[in-house]
Amino acid sequence: MPAPHLAVIGGGQLARMMAPPAVALGIRLRLLAEAGDVSAAQVIGDHLVGDHTNLADLRDAVGDAPVVTFDHEHVPPEHLQALAAEGHACRPSPDALLFAQDKGDMRVRLSLLGIPSPVFELLSEDLADAIDDMHDFGYPAVVKTTRGGYDGKGVWVVRSADDLAEPFSVGQELMAEELVDFRRELSALVARSPSGEVRAYPVVESRQVDGVCSEVIAPAPDLDPALAAEARQIAERIATELEVTGILAVEMFETTDGRILVNELAMRPHNTGHWSIEGAETSQFENHLRAVLDLPLGPTTARQPWSVMVNVLGGAVEDLLVQRAIALAAEPGVHVHLYGKAVKPGRKVGHVTATGIDLDDTRARARRSAALLTDG
């Protein structure tokens, strides 16, 4: 009897990178893809093209799959509730996913849990009232849409009431947060299964350029062990309290005065965990599959002292396949991952990971490979 399918909603590179561990573990994936040639549809033969905001399409793709998981957080909660009511286990569940979908709800919930977070305030819908809110809140501040932002989109630094016009022009619910004076960004990933098993990955440093993740160093260099333990415990606590299933990524600030504050949550494999494919005993993609199917989780320990992941963003290189040979020739030991996407400026089209015993050397190799794939 063939294995029951695991349904995956969304055809981006995160779903694509679930395919290799599914091959190893004998897990059959069925995909709902935005189009027949999107990243994951190229490598998951059993895919259906449809719209993840359309319940009929979701039902068609899920079929009789007992478990459904996700490439992204954009499936409407009411559709997830419908699928759950029809007997499909959504992992993460709609109740958990809400806190990755809505930053306002997330902030309120984490506050109730006493998890260290930036000071925040939900803004009134009316601009004049919001200007009053901000007057009390103070400037400068960060203003964000509570929903739908990613990779720096939907985030503004406001320095006066005049700066509120642009966020308000988007027409979405907004919130204000303190402008955190941070030394760097950290990310803590955990895998959690429905049985409650939790495994935490080493805390990593994430470097952003223009709001987009550029480079990840695992583990975060020179991180105070007490802060590393706190970051890991925060991620484990959020996963457990919110009953997350699968991978939870907790993006954090390390403030200049040595504190950890939670920035964002993602409930799926995350860019800051790509290093784990080669760098950890069990990759985030394998542990995501193991977690959502309630299989025992694999060890999350690092396999090498250092792993450095650098994203390949669309740049001057037009033909990634020609450039792949040049990058492999220059750095044959750097692991190249291409997502099968057309190159567009700034678009994530791949990543590379180097592992090693010397951080400077490891980072230099990863950067050289990524630069060859980006700008030639």
Where does this chain touch a second copy (CB under 8 A) — which range of 107-115, 143-151, 218-226, 276-284? 276-284
Determine if 357 is a binding residue for a second copy (CB under 8 A).
Answer: no
Instruction: Count residues near a second copy (CB under 8 A).
Output: 46
Residue from the set 94, 246, 269, 350 that interacts with a second copy by CB under 8 A: 350
Residue 42 found at the interface with a second copy (CB under 8 A): yes
Residues 6 or more apart in contact with residue 99 via CB below 8 angstroms:
105, 106, 109, 242, 265, 267
Q: Are 238 and 244 in contact, with CB atoms under 8 Å apart?
A: yes
Q: Which of 88, 107, 288, 290 binds a second copy (CB under 8 A)?
A: 290
Per CB under 8 A, 288 contacts a second copy: no
Site map 305..334 versus a second copy, x via CB under 8 A: ---------------xx--xx--xx--xx-
Among 21-29, 50-58, 158-166, 237-245, which window interacts with a second copy (CB under 8 A)? 21-29
Q: Residues 105, 255, 304, 359: which binds a second copy (CB under 8 A)? A: 304
Give the nearer residue to a second copy in terms of CB position, either 252 or 291: 291
Q: How far is the CB of 309 from a second copy (least distance, A)?
A: 13
Tell me whether the omega of the peptide bond preceding residue 77 falls within 30 degrees of 0, making it cis: no
Residue 51, token pair as written in the block: 């719209």
Cβ 350 vs Cβ 312: under 8 Å: yes
Residue closer to a second copy (CB basis): 24 or 128: 24
Q: Is 16 in the site for a second copy (CB under 8 A)?
A: yes
Whichever of 98 and 372 has its CB closer to a second copy, that residue is: 372
Contact positions with a second copy (CB under 8 A) in 195-214: none
CA distance 274 to 265: 16
Q: Which is nearer to a second copy, 230 or 281 (CB)?
A: 281
**Tokens matching residue 102:** 């809505």
Provide, rounded to whole angstroms, the least separation between the CB of residue 28 and a second copy: 7
Of 30, 52, 107, 337, the one binding a second copy by CB under 8 A: 337
Nearest CA-CA partner of 33 in 19, 329, 23: 19
Site residues (CB under 8 A) for a second copy, limited to 108-137: none
Question: Rounded to an integer, what is the distance from CA 277 to the centroid of its chain?
Answer: 15
Q: Which is nearer to a second copy, 261 or 293 (CB)?
A: 293
Q: Please, what is the end-to-end C-alpha distance for the chain in angstroms?
A: 49
Q: Give alpha helix (H) positions in 13-54.
A: 13-16, 19-25
Query: What is the Rg, in whole angstroms, of the alpha carbon atoms belonging to the chain?
Result: 20
- Vertex 37 angle, CA 36 and 39, to 5°: 120
Q: Are 92 and 267 in contact (CB under 8 A)?
A: yes
Contact 169, 163 (CB under 8 A): no
Residues 23, 157, 165, 226: which binds a second copy (CB under 8 A)? 23
Restricting to residues 43-72, name those near a second copy by CB under 8 A: 43-47
| Binding track over 140-169 against a second copy, x by CB under 8 A | ------------------------------
**Pairing of β 174-178 and β 141-145:** antiparallel
SS3 category, 345: coil
DSSP class of 271 = G
CA-to-CA distance for 25 and 20, rounded, in angstroms? 9
Contacts of 66 (CB under 8 A, 6+ apart): 4, 87, 88, 89
Q: Is 6 in the site for a second copy (CB under 8 A)?
A: no
Binding site for a second copy (CB under 8 A): 2-3, 16-17, 19-26, 28, 37, 42-47, 277, 281-282, 290, 295-299, 303-304, 320-321, 324-325, 328-329, 332-333, 335-340, 350
